[in-house]
Amino acid sequence: MQTKLALALIAALAASSAFAAAKEQRVTKSAAEVLKDSPNADWRALDPENTLLMNLPQGQVVIELAPRFAPKLTANIRALARASYFDGLAVIRVQENYVTQWGDPDEDDAKARPVPDGIKGAKEFSIPLKGLPLNKLHETDGWAPLNGFVDGFPVAADPKAGRAWLAHCYSTVGVARGNEPDSGNGSGLYVAIGQSPRALENNIAAVGRVIKGMELLGSLPRGTGNLGFYEKPEQRTAITSIKLAADLPEAERPKLQVLRTDSKTWGELLEARRHRSGWYIKSPERTDLCSGTVPTRPTP
Amino acid sequence: MQTKLALALIAALAASSAFAAAKEQRVTKSAAEVLKDSPNADWRALDPENTLLMNLPQGQVVIELAPRFAPKLTANIRALARASYFDGLAVIRVQENYVTQWGDPDEDDAKARPVPDGIKGAKEFSIPLKGLPLNKLHETDGWAPLNGFVDGFPVAADPKAGRAWLAHCYSTVGVARGNEPDSGNGSGLYVAIGQSPRALENNIAAVGRVIKGMELLGSLPRGTGNLGFYEKPEQRTAITSIKLAADLPEAERPKLQVLRTDSKTWGELLEARRHRSGWYIKSPERTDLCSGTVPTRPTP
């Protein structure tokens, strides 16, 4: 069967150059080779002011905030974390093939935890496309006329409307909102855990992405209530704390780097994802916005 | 915040007709309304010969096989289930944002469980497009020139090559294989658990989809070994049994129906997914192959 070996090859997106040449396919480095050969300058440190650490009993989730796309809401989230707002709250909802959501289980009740002064809702669904350093992906996916990456985040855009927005890919973090477009204030957050829910774009604010620990939020038991809400309080996962890295001593901050999406390595990685050989008998000759996760690595 | 309410609206893809009309948007039934109003004739029973029941300690997973797309491999899987091949084997691998795989943990070793006589590997990656009753989706997604649904399964096709194949969407079940294209025999199976891994298409055989219990396979702890393999045997989830519904007394078969994808209701459901109002302030005016899960319901 050789399944283990074969799947090793699948996952590494492996391309044996010799084999590729023999088949007269395009010779391209594998994704693993591209990353191994990448210069340190193609990686960047995390900005502690934009790094959210969500501590769960299962482990730590690291979220990178994208203030460029939601300046008010990311400022709210920073302020909420600094006020220890999330500590002791919970994951309240896990809906299969959709979202994991956390915040105040009592938010709609009299028992709701008050948010600090100055935290107001905001409608930050898109920003001007003009001037945005969009590293364009030549593949479109039908959900937007233009797409690519900015600062390590997947971004979709509509040149006619002159707008751009953080795409709702697997692992994108957004701000839950009520019926009013500006009702989300950052006190309730969610992450996409299944097929990328692109229909949400321009309807809700995306504020960042999970760059580590996504497996913790994706493997929680699904809630059995309507929309995946947990029916009993004891089914919820408690949030030990959500802290901003900037508020922690340097030694307690995550030692992670993110690949720069304006780097040569990123371009090569996309090429490796497009052109596959070895185990692959038919190279897809394609990638897309939500398949192309931006890698992180431990700081060397 | 009204988050619970708001998310209720998101998940139901709800469209209040009155509200939509007020906004001069297209008035379309919501997905929930479409399903509620659907005639019984638009639903079909499961064929017991194509219904696989995977019993895990966490509950039951129901898989519908698609023999049209992989006649030899689905016959193998039936024979393996009938021989109780899978009973006592395990989920051996869960790779984040990729696949959950099950089969014989010892398949590469001397301890491998022997497969019954006559079970041979097959390369069933695509079938002729000609004559296929493809209910076309007008949206393409860039991964294939043509796509749509056949018998309730998502299907992609290439008219130039004259071939069609079961698409690798979230919840698609496939046959693990080794380096040789015909090395997969059905004794090792996987299901896609994250962003749909479309690059696998035409490289591996898809044989069906999970129609119930997907949340069980999607929420297993990710393996910490290479490619998500579990490093310790005790981390694996044991498979109590995998049985064919046809081999069970009628009372023990799942009482489920699948929406016919050649029905009026299916067309209306796709329209409801395209045109969203109510909570949505910008209707996506679009769906796609892997977003449009085909519904099941308890047999009325």
The Cα of A291 is separated from the nearest Cα of chain B by a number of Å equal to: 7
Q: What's the confidence (pLDDT) of residue A246?
A: 98
**Rounded Cα–Cα distance for residues A93 and A235 (Å):** 10
Q: What's the confidence (pLDDT) of residue A9?
A: 37
Q: What's the confidence (pLDDT) of residue A244?
A: 98
Q: What's the confidence (pLDDT) of residue B259?
A: 98
Q: CA–CA distance from A36 to each of A212, A269, A273, B98 (Å)?
A: 19, 11, 15, 22
Rounded average pLDDT over B26-44: 90
CB-closest option in B179, B228, B282 to A202: B282
- Looking at per-residue confidence, does B139 or A7 come out higher? B139
Q: CA–CA distance from B85 to each of A115, B11, B89, B106, B119 (Å)?
A: 56, 39, 8, 13, 11
User: What residues form DSSP beta bridges with A296?
Assistant: A258
Alpha-carbon dihedral of residues A82, A87, A92, A97, nearest 10 degrees? 60
**Rounded Cα–Cα distance for residues B18 and B35 (Å):** 19
CB-closest option in B181, B229, B290 to A281: B181
Q: What's the confidence (pLDDT) of residue B127?
A: 98
Alpha-carbon dihedral of residues B243, B247, B250, B254, nearest 10 degrees? 20
List of domains in chain B: 3-44+263-298 (no CATH), 47-121+167-253 (2.40.100.10)
Check CB contact under 8 Å for B183 and A227: no
Q: Which residues of A touch B2 (CB under 8 A)?
A: 108, 178-180, 183
Is residue B104 pLDDT above 90, yes or no?
yes
Judge if ipTM > 0.95. no
Tokens of A112: 């709701």
Asked if A43 has any chain B CB less than 8 Å from its own CB, the reply is no
* Interval A184-221: pLDDT, tens: 999 999 999 999 999 999 999 999 999 999 999 999 99
The Cα of B289 is separated from the nearest Cα of chain A by a number of Å equal to: 11
User: What residues form DSSP beta bridges with B256?
Assistant: B298
Q: Which residues of B touch A286 (CB under 8 A)?
A: 142-143, 199
**Rounded Cα–Cα distance for residues B207 and B204 (Å):** 10
Q: Considering chain A, what is the average pLDDT of its residues?
A: 91
Q: What's the confidence (pLDDT) of residue B58?
A: 96
User: Which of A133-137, A235-239, B18-22, B92-96 bottoms out in mean pLDDT, i.e. has the lowest?
Assistant: B18-22
Task: Report residue A108's pLDDT band, with 50, 70 and 90 as the boundaries.
Answer: confident
**Rounded Cα–Cα distance for residues A66 and A217 (Å):** 20
Q: What's the confidence (pLDDT) of residue A28?
A: 74
Check CB contact under 8 Å for B3 and A177: yes
Q: What's the confidence (pLDDT) of residue B141?
A: 86
**Rounded Cα–Cα distance for residues A234 and B16 (Å):** 34
Q: Which residues of B touch A140 (CB under 8 A)?
A: 142
Q: What's the confidence (pLDDT) of residue A27?
A: 54
Instruction: State the DSSP code for A124.
Output: -
Task: Report residue B292's pLDDT band, with 50, 70 and 90 as the boundaries.
Answer: confident
**Rounded Cα–Cα distance for residues B197 and A195 (Å):** 10
* Interval B138-157: pLDDT, tens: 998 899 999 999 999 999 99
Is residue A23 pLDDT above 80, yes or no?
no
The Cα of A279 is separated from the nearest Cα of chain B by a number of Å equal to: 6
- Looking at per-residue confidence, does A13 or A181 come out higher? A181
Read off φ and ψ for residue A200, nearest 5 degrees: -75, -15
User: What residues form DSSP beta bridges with B56?
Assistant: B59
Q: Which residue in B has a C-alpha nearest to residue A122's C-alpha?
A: B1
**Rounded Cα–Cα distance for residues B154 and B53 (Å):** 21
Asked if A290 has any chain B CB less than 8 Å from its own CB, the reply is yes
Check CB contact under 8 Å for B1 and A282: no
Q: What is the CA radius of gyration of chain B?
A: 20
Q: Residue holding tokens 């380096």?
A: B179
Is residue B22 pLDDT above 90, yes or no?
no
Q: Considering chain B, what is the average pLDDT of its residues?
A: 91
Is residue B11 pLDDT above 70, yes or no?
no
Check CB contact under 8 Å for A140 and B143: no
pTM score: 0.92
3-state secondary structure of B20: helix
**Strands across the sheet containing A172-175:** A237-238, A90-95, A99-103, A189-192, A172-175, A205-212, A59-65, A51-56, A241-244
Q: Which residues of A touch B229 (CB under 8 A)?
A: 4
